[in-house]
Structure 1
Amino acid sequence: MTKLHLGCGKIRLPGYVNVDVQPHPSVDVCADLRDLPFDPGSADLIYSCAAIEHFGRRQWQPVLAHWFSILKPGGLLRLSTADFAACCEHYRENGRVADLLGLIIGGQKDDWDWHGMVFDFAILAEGLEAVGFRNVRRYDWRETDVGRLGIDDYSQAYLPHMDKENGRLMMLNVEADKPAG
């Protein structure tokens, strides 16, 4: 089974081909996520956490279409991105935009760490379906390889920070299927 971890940054997932635009010891393949060096229909699963929001308003759907082409028929795409609806709820309750800056505009620590898009479930589902994905649904990070392996990535970002029992999940965790036939 071929599993790709796109936009891996410094997080290496065992059993995955870890891909990022910047070289790190965790990266197996250094490549732009808009132009991946994988054959069409070659991946069973694509996981991408906190990467799709780095593409602009008119760029993210073509990126998803590219990823769709790399998945095998019947393959699974699993995405995690900041949940704009959760950010709005947090802001309404706390009135602190400072808590949300990293989620909304990125960390801005380097040339790649800027966000060009925000998502709620409806806009992400609509975009996924527009490029061919079906059965778009939320997933629980605890039931994925990340959760089972005890790897802490942004799919489990909560406010208050790290309060996974009582905090609000700030990430939109969505998966979708490439039709089998």
Structure 2
Amino acid sequence: MSEWDWGRPEELSARMDAFLVEGATCDKLEEVASPPYDRAALDGLGVTGVEFAAWKSRHPAALASDVVPLRAPDGVAAPDRVYRVDGEALFAALDIRRPLPFADGSVDWVYAEHLVEHVSLSDAIGWLTEVRRILAPGGVLRLTTPDLATYVDGYRQGSPFFPRHRSRLRAAGLGPPMPARRAFMFNQLFYLYGHRWLYDFDEMRYALSAAGFAPDTVERRSFRDGVRPDVADLDRVLRNDESLYVEVVKRDA
């Protein structure tokens, strides 16, 4: 593969995909459960909620999940099965474009950071519909995603956001310095990370409403502020200046 070129989004996407696969490793995978999972099965595992787009969750009662399966020297995590990773956290390889292997009302919370933008709008609504199904009445869904409005403001008003974003990527060691051109900074949000659909608050509320959540229960939140502090604390500092934070509570009916 040629040297890093910010102007070649397809090449960079391939690099990032390879980086993810290489990073999905652990020392030991122990299968502890197989689908389907009802409330009793999850209670037995000590699981109250699911964190998507994570190989390991910081929440002590979480099932972490990602479409990229974890690999150990003696095998790879099979889809939908629950594994204990290195004797500690729980993980399942889940594809959000497919039905989730959980019973209705089986979890109290779901968290996903910078996930929903990586699938089409129709796939996102399908996944959100599944999330609503598996949430118990009163259950909380917390989503974070790149905020399109933040990028628009950065492009139109020249806010400090773009320089901060370039510095953050540079500190993370992702390639050479990112170009400072405003048009480039706006375009990279669409084309460099495998993004399929971008959201502002109104678009996210539309998707959640189409999935069956009551529109008046959809609330905009801020970094690490939410109905459940234990779930909101999963927000990562690295992305707090570009993220849209949204929560919705499933009503009883």
Contact 1:154–1:171 (Cα < 8 Å) also in 2 = no
Task: Measure, in 1, the Cα distance between the counterparts of 2:237 and 2:96.
Answer: 19
1 CA distance for matches of 2:56 and 2:133? 25
Which of residues 106, 124, 131 is equivalent to 1:67? Answer: 131
Which amino acid in the other structure matches residue 28 of structure 1?
F
Equivalent residues of 1:42, 1:72 under 8 A apart: yes
Q: Which residue of 2 aligns with 1:53?
A: 117
Q: Secondary structure at the match of 1:142?
A: coil
After superposition, residues 85-104 of structure 1 pair within 5 angstroms as 85-94=149-158, 96-100=182-186, 103-104=189-190
1:62 Cα deviation (Å)? 1.2
Match of 2:221 in 1: 139
Q: What is the DSSP-based 3-state SS (H/G/I as helix, E as strand, rest coil) of the residue aligned with 1:28?
A: strand
CA shift in 2, pair 1:130/1:57, >3 Å: closer
C-alpha contact 1:57 1:117 (8 A) present in aligned 2: yes
Instruction: Compute the displacement of 1:66 (Å).
Output: 1.1
Q: Secondary structure at the match of 1:37?
A: coil
**Number of the residue aligned with 1:163:** none
| Counterpart-to-counterpart distance in 1, 2:203 and 2:221 | 17
Q: 1:174: which partner in 2? A: 246
Deviation at 1:12, TM superposition (A): 2.3
Query: Residues 106, 175 of structure 1: CA spacing in aligned structure 2 closer, same or farther, 3 A cutoff?
Result: farther
Code of the aligned partner of 2:251 = P
Deviation at 1:61, TM superposition (A): 0.9
Counterpart amino acid of residue 5 in structure 1: E
- Give 1:126 deviation, angstroms: 1.6
Identify if the C-alpha distance between structure 1 residues 11 and 155 changes in structure 2 by more than 3 Å, giving closer, same or farther.
Answer: farther
Letter in 2 for 1:132: G
Query: What are the ranges of 5 or more consecutive residues in structure 2 without an aligned counterpart?
Result: 1-46, 71-84, 159-180
State the Cα distance separating 1:33 from its structure 2 match.
1.7
**Amino acid aligned to 1:80:** T
What RMSD in Å do the two structures reach over aligned CA positions?
A: 2.4
Question: Rg bigger for which structure?
Answer: 2
Identity of aligned residues (%): 30
Is residue 116 from structure 1 mapped to residue 196 from structure 2 by the alignment? yes
Q: What aligned pairs does 1:4-83 form with structure 2 within 5 A after superposition?
A: 4-8=50-54, 10=55, 12-15=57-60, 16-24=62-70, 28-34=91-97, 35-83=99-147
CA contact (8 A) 1:141 1:155 kept: no
Q: Do structure 1's residue 127 and structure 2's residue 207 form an aligned pair?
A: yes
Q: Which has the higher contact order (CA 8 A, sep 6+)?
A: 1
Q: Map Cα deviations across residues 78-122 of structure 1 (whole Å, 9 max, x no partner).
A: 000111111111111235244345543353xxxxxx111011111
Change over 3 Å in CA distance of 1:115–1:83 after alignment to 2 = same
Partner of 1:164: none
Q: Which has the higher helix share?
A: 2
Q: Which residue of 1 aligns with 2:177?
A: none
Q: Pick closer, same or farther for the CA change 1:27–1:85 going to 2, 3 Å.
A: farther
TM-score (structure 1 length as normaliser): 0.77
Moved more, 83-92 or 128-137: 128-137
CA contact (8 A) 2:132 2:211 kept: yes
Tell me how far apart the structure 2 counterparts of residues 133 and 59 of structure 1 sit (CA, whole Å): 16
Counterpart of 2:68, as a letter, is: Q
The TM-score normalised by the length of structure 2 is 0.57
